[in-house]
Amino acid sequence: MSSQNQPQHNEAAISENELIAQRRTKLDALQQKAKQAGKSAYPNTFKPENYCGDLQAQFDGVDKATIESGDKVYAKVAGRVMLNRGSFIVIQDMTDRIQLYVDRKGLPSETLELIKSLDLGDIVAASGYIGRSGKGDLYVHLEAFELLTKSLRPLPDKFHGLTDTEVKYRKRYLDLMVNEETRNTFAIRAKVVAGIRAFLTQERFMEVETPMMHVIPGGASARPFVTHHNALDMQLYLRIAPELYLKRLVVGGFDRVFEINRNFRNEGVSTRHNPEFTMIEFYQAYADYKDLMTLTERMLEKLATDILGSTDVSYGDEVFSFKGPFKKITMFDAILEHNSDFSADDINDREFLAKFVKDELKQEVKPSFGLGKLQTIVFEETVETKLRQPTFITEYPAETSPLARRNDTNPHVTDRFEMFIGGRELANGFSELNDPIDQAERFRAQVAEKDAGDDEAMHYDADFIEALEYGLPPTAGEGIGIDRLVMLFADAASIRDVILFPHMRHK
């Protein structure tokens, strides 16, 4: 074999392998020493009593002289070594960072030797009293120190952090270790979920859990994931939406219910779509879609204020106002507003819209597409991205709203809304269809579309129809995409930035 065909050594890989070997050698020495002392190289007896962030907040604004003049305040902390500056070691826990001051005159030689052998990424425990450096940094003056976990792999470059997007998604644990922005994003996500739960609970909604494996996929128009139950020898579908089960609960007498749910849709992946995603769905008896628009405005305004401290939410180069009330406009009027060449008659002309969809939007027009389907396509393709500030689009066609209640004065449309922010759909809600005969007819129409080749059309759910026949009170329901809401609050460009472990192509 010629030299040109010989495998080329990767210097970076060799360097990393060498570093790993060095760390393993250190671990071997620690294990030998621990064994001689009858201990473990991975001790689990230290119990921290303080968080770094709490200490930083407690002593915020307290100067060096004041700290040194008062009684000593002792702290016990634990965390990962992020920087080692000789006399000062910087550790990080889930809340923040803090420095550890290495008093070389006051610590035993054995402890100093241990500190000298530390590598970035090691997890340590520290006890001592609080001080402040001449540069103004808070620190713990070490009196006791212990290595809890030896890190066998080097952290990403400490000066540049982890910047490779694919590695950030595949190895989120590294991303969380070294990127404060990522940690802040998921802290915001936790606050959004907790805030929604608290708001709805305060409004007397009851949190419930419904099945994630369905005999019939329903509650949305989407392509499901298919699985198989071996013991029962039956095909099951991963949940695409919890809607039909939640409405069964309203039939059963739970007038206000909600579920923070994971949904699975076997569809494309994009900056706004992940096959596994999180939604909040809630249902309120004796309410209509207008009531839910008002509730949504109140909830989002409170979330923004509580989490971000303002109803003005910065996203990229834009600022979205979450101060209610939001703009409300029908789909028909929105198409008219954003398509200056259309007349009202054009929007109600199926042949005109079919030609426009085929010739201008370059989309297939199937014979089964009615006027409502075409109107929806035109809206999605020519209007959605232009809806920047929070906007409720109302009166969706019945043809594309198989679970929504028809409008009393115009049976072509339904009492439904979708909310858009930054050109993206964030919420979908409507007055529920509680007429079992009408619902059965719409299910049959969906089945006809599925038979005609629409993979996302709904199945016929006979059990749900039977539940409606017992009587569903007048009800309104809504779903809000939590991932997309967090994207707005965290100023994240991609849905993968707000999902801890997004799905990736197999490598």
Phi, psi angle pair for 48, to nearest 5°: -65, 145
Helix (H) or strand (E) holding 170: helix 165-170
Would you say 381 is a known binding-site residue? no
CA distance 401 to 415: 9
Residue 182: Cβ-neighbour burial (10 angstroms; 0-12, 13-18, 19+): buried
Amino acid at 50: N
Torsion sign (Cα): 285, 291, 293, 296 = negative
- For the chain, list the domains and their CATH numbers: 16-149 (2.40.50.140), 180-326+389-497 (3.30.930.10)
Cβ atoms 59, 130 nearer than 8 A? yes
Q: How far apart are CA 15 and CA 113, in angstroms?
A: 25
Predicted model pTM? 0.90
Closest CA to 507 of 110, 169, 43: 169
Give the pLDDT of the chain (507 residues) as one tens digit per residue: 443 444 344 445 557 889 999 999 999 999 999 999 999 999 999 999 999 999 999 999 999 999 999 899 999 999 999 999 889 999 999 999 999 999 999 999 999 999 999 999 999 999 999 999 999 999 999 999 999 999 999 988 754 556 788 888 999 999 999 999 999 999 999 999 999 999 999 999 999 999 999 888 887 878 899 999 999 999 999 999 999 999 999 999 999 999 999 999 998 777 778 999 999 999 999 999 999 999 999 999 999 999 999 999 999 999 999 999 999 999 999 999 999 999 999 999 999 999 999 999 999 999 989 999 999 999 999 999 999 999 999 999 999 998 899 999 999 999 999 999 999 999 999 999 999 999 999 888 888 887 777 776 778 889 999 999 999 999 999 999 999 999 999 999 999 999 999 988 887
Task: Report whether 425 belongs to an annotated binding site.
Answer: yes
Instruction: Count each helix (H run) and each strand (E run) in the chain, helices first.
Output: 16, 18
Question: Cα 130 to the chain's mean position, in Å?
Answer: 37
Contacts of 16 (CB under 8 A, 6+ apart): 153, 154
Q: Token pair for residue 270?
A: 């994009």
Cα pseudo-dihedral 425, 427, 428, 431, rounded to 10 = -150
Residue type, 273: H
Q: Is the peptide bond before 397 cis (omega within 30 degrees of 0)?
A: no
Measured between alpha carbons, how far is residue 300 from residues 52, 296, 421 in Å? 31, 6, 12
